[in-house]
Amino acid sequence: MLQSLSEKARSGTEFIQRLKCMADKVQENCLEFEASVVAQCDSLIEAIKLRRQQLLDNVRQERQLKQRIFKEQVSHCTQRLSRATGLLQFSIEVLKESDPTAFLQVSSSLIQRVASTEKMLNKELELAPRVSPDFELCLDNHAVLKAIQTLNFYQMKDGTSGKSDCIQVKCQSQDQIDPDLNTPGPPQIIPEDCSSENNTVTIAWQPYPGSSQDGYILELDDGNQGPYREVYCGNENICTVEGLHFDSVYSSRVKAFNHSGDSEYSQCLCLQTAAVAWFAFDPNSAHPDIIFSNDNTTVNCNSTEYRVVLGNVGLSRGIHYWEVSIDRYDNQPDPAVGVARCDVAKDGMLGKDESGWSMYIDYKRSWFMHDSHHSDRQDEGVGPQSVIGILLDLNQHTLSFYVNGMPHGPIAFTDMDGVFYPAVSLNRNLQLTLHTGLEVPIEISDTDDE
C-alpha cells in the first residue's frame, strides 16, 4: 500500500510539473495564435483590396463605354446638323436674289432639297441620349458585411486531450467544408457578368467552391421591394429574364440544391431597368400585309385595308411617351395610334375592338376610339411630316395624345390597368416611323412632381 501511495504521489507531482509547463506555454501559444489570426485577417483585407480594384476597373470601363457612345452620338448629330445648316445658309442667299427669273429657276429644286433634308433630319437625327450619364449600378455589400460580422472561432480539439498542450481554435474556411456531408454552399453571383438592357436583366453565378449541386433556383422580387418569386430552375449558371417593368430596381438571389437539400441564398444583386422604354415594331405578331424597314421602326402596308402592328415591348408600370411621325400621307387616310392588348385584332383599324385604344385622325379632324365607340372630336388634322405623341401614364392610369408637340384634346382614356403594347394601324397610303426613348413632356413631368 505504501508503494502504491508513493506512486500516486509521484504521479501527482509530475502532473503538477506538466501543468506548470502548460501555463508557461499559454503566453507563447497565444502569441503564435494572434499572429495566425492577424495573417488570416490580412489575407481577407488583401482580398477586399483586390476586389475593390476589380470593381473600380469595371466602373472605369463603364465610363469609357459611356464616353465613347456620347462622342459617337455627338459626331453623328453634328454631321447631320452641318448639312442642314449649310442648306439654310444657301437658302438665305437664294432668298436675297433680286432677279425673279433666276430665283424661279432654282426655287423648285431648292424646295425639294429642303423637304428632303427635313425628312432626313426627322428620320436620322436623334434627340434623345443613347445612354444615361448616370451609373445605374449599386454595390451590394450586405452579404460581405454579414459574413464579417459573423466571423468567429470554433474549437478544433479538446484541451484536456493528451495530444495537445492547449485548446486549438481556427477561423473556419471554405476548404474545410466536406461537400459530401452537407447541402451545397450558397452560389456566388458574378456582378461583372450581369447586365441590364431595356426591360431585360441577365444574372450569372458560379457554384460554391468544392460544393456539389444538382441545380439552381433563381428568384427576383417584383421591382418594388415586394416578395421574391422563382423565375428559373435548372442546372445552367446564367439566366436572362425579359418583360420586366421599366425604371425599376430588381433584387435577385440564387440558391443551389442537391439530394441533401437546398443551400442558403447567395448575396443579393440589384439591377435597374432602363428609365425610359426603347422599342420597335414587332414583325412576329404583325399582320402579313405590314412591311418593315429601318430596324423595324418604320412601317408601311401593301393593302388598302387598315392593318394593326404592335410594339415589341409591353408596358405595365410608370409613365411612357413615344412619337409616331408620318413619313408619307397620300389620299387623306386615317392613321390610328395608341395602345392595345396582345390579342387585338390585326385586320382592322386600331380601336375597333375591346383590346385597342386609339386616336384616329385625318387631314382635318380626329376622334378617340375604343371598342368602336367614338368620342371627343377635335377639329385639327395631320399631314406629311406631322408627329403624333402618345403619353401612357400608368401611375395615373390614363392615355392622352399630342400632335406636333402640343396636347391634343382632353385625356383620352382613363382606368388603364394591365399590360399594354404600343400600336398603330395603317394602310397603303401611309408610312409611319416610331421614335422611342423620349422624355415625358415637361408640363406632364411638372404636374406629376407636384
pLDDT in tens, 58-78: 889 888 888 888 888 888 888
CA–CA separation, 186 and 124 (whole Å): 49
- 258, 311: one domain: no
Asked if residue 416 is part of any domain, the answer here is yes
Task: Return the CATH number at 219.
Answer: 2.60.40.10
pLDDT for 311: 95
Residues 325 and 443 in one domain: yes
**pTM of the model as a whole:** 0.55
Q: 107 and 44 in one domain? A: yes
User: Where does a domain end: 152, 172, 192?
Assistant: 172
342/383 same-domain check = yes
Cα 55 to its chain centre, rounded Å, is 20
- Give a yes or no: residue 47 inside a domain: yes
Contact yes or no for 364/380 (Cβ under 8 A)? yes
Confidence check: pLDDT of 352 > 90 = yes
Residue 243 lies in a domain: yes
203 backbone dihedrals φ, ψ, rounded to 5°: -120, 130
Could you give the CA distance from residue 340 to residue 105 in angstroms, rounded to a whole number? 50
Is residue 366 within 8 Å of residue 378, measured between CB atoms? Answer: yes
**pLDDT band at residue 263 under the 50/70/90 scheme:** very high
Domain containing residue 213: 183-275
Examine the fold and report which residue of 138, 153, 172 is the final residue of a domain before the chain moves on.
Answer: 172
Check whether residue 188 and residue 104 sit in a common domain.
no
Rounded to 10 deg, the angle between the 100-124 and 2-95 helix axes is 170
Instruction: Tell whether 361 and 420 lie within a shared domain.
Output: yes
User: Does the residue 280 lie in any domain?
Assistant: no
Sign, CA torsion 404/407/413/417: positive
Say yes or no: 47 and 102 in one domain: yes
Do 261 and 297 lie in one domain? The reply is: no
Residue 285 lies in a domain: no
Range in 7-11, 165-169, 286-290, 313-317 the model is least confident about? 165-169
Other CB atoms within 10 Å distance of the CB of residue 311: 23
Mean pLDDT (the chain) is 85
Alpha carbon distance 330, 400 (integer Å):
26
Shared-domain flag, residues 341 and 239: no
**22 shares a domain with 124:** yes
Inside any domain, residue 81: yes
Q: Residue 177 falls within a domain, yes or no?
A: no
Q: Looking at residue 308, which CATH number applies to its domain?
A: 2.60.120.920
CA angle 16, 20, 26 (to 5 degrees): 140
pLDDT for position 160: 47
Domain boundary residue among 215, 244, 275?
Answer: 275
Are 154 and 228 in the same domain?
no
Domain count, the chain: 3
Q: Span 149-158, mean pLDDT? A: 66
- Confirm whether 210 is domain-assigned: yes
Q: Which amino acid does the sequence have at 64?
A: Q
Query: Is the pLDDT at 87 greater than 90, yes or no?
Result: no
**What is the per-residue pLDDT across 96-108, written as a single tens digit (0 to 9) for each?**
877 887 777 777 7
Domain check: are 237 and 200 in the same one? yes
The amino acid at residue 337 is: V
